[in-house]
Structure 1
């Protein structure tokens, strides 16, 4: 009887641990940087630290988005992606964003492929840029 209880306890611990590990593995942001003057991007960085990923996702999700198609004066400086979750909590499609550094160098502007646009606050811009590039937002 003790062996059965021990076996079931270990099985439960393994199942819980593997579920948590799966959640950790999925949490990442991939960033590509534009090279040259063309609309060509190369892999730049991958953010996997859970706190940084969560903060970046929160900044993007909580921004005041406008549903409008915008024409930017130049190609995006960066593009980044992270897995998005459906309303029921299951893994959905990859959320993809194009990112520009504004001409004043203090704000980030983001556009999605579904015609949504946002200009982030200075603080959110600085925080997100630091997470995505590891650098301060100074132009």
Structure 2
């Protein structure tokens, strides 16, 4: 009887643990930065802290997006991806990010022709999360 109770207890712990691990999978943001003057990106950072990931996703999802095809004068400074919360599929949301010429705002474009220029506050917060550095130079 003791062995059965021990077995079920162990199974319960394993099931709870695996459920927590599955929930954590995908809760990260992958950041890449542009190298040189070409449109070539290399892995830069992974943001895995749950609070930072949630904050970044909230900034992106609550931004005032415009449905517009925008062509920028130069290649993006960064690109980043994270799992999309709005989809039942395992879809990755991908974004290109530019630092505005004045260095105070971030401009973001999606692959589905959506554009946003973030507020100074949101820009500073998102940049800090994605790079670990302050935005204003």
Q: TM-score, normalised by structure 1?
A: 0.90
| Residue 122 of structure 1: how far off its partner (Å) | 0.7
Which residue matches 1:116?
Answer: 114
1:31–1:132 CA contact under 8 A, matched in 2: yes
Q: 1:132 aligns with which of 118, 127, 130?
A: 130
- Separation in structure 1 between the aligned mates of residue 96 and residue 131 of structure 2, nearest angstrom: 14
Matches within 5 A, 1:1-139: 1-87=1-87, 90-139=88-137
1:83–1:91 CA contact under 8 A, matched in 2: no
- Separation in structure 2 between the aligned mates of residue 47 and residue 91 of structure 1, nearest angstrom: 22
- Separation in structure 2 between the aligned mates of residue 14 and residue 27 of structure 1, nearest angstrom: 21
| Residue 35 of structure 1: how far off its partner (Å) | 1.1
| Structure 1: gaps spanning 5 or more residues | none
| Residue 41 of structure 1: how far off its partner (Å) | 0.9
RMSD: 1.6
1:32–1:45 CA contact under 8 A, matched in 2: yes
Q: Which moves more between the two structures, 19-28 or 55-64?
A: 19-28
Q: What SS class does the counterpart of residue 45 from structure 2 fall into?
A: strand
Q: What SS class does the counterpart of residue 103 from structure 1 fall into?
A: coil
| Structure 2: gaps spanning 5 or more residues | none
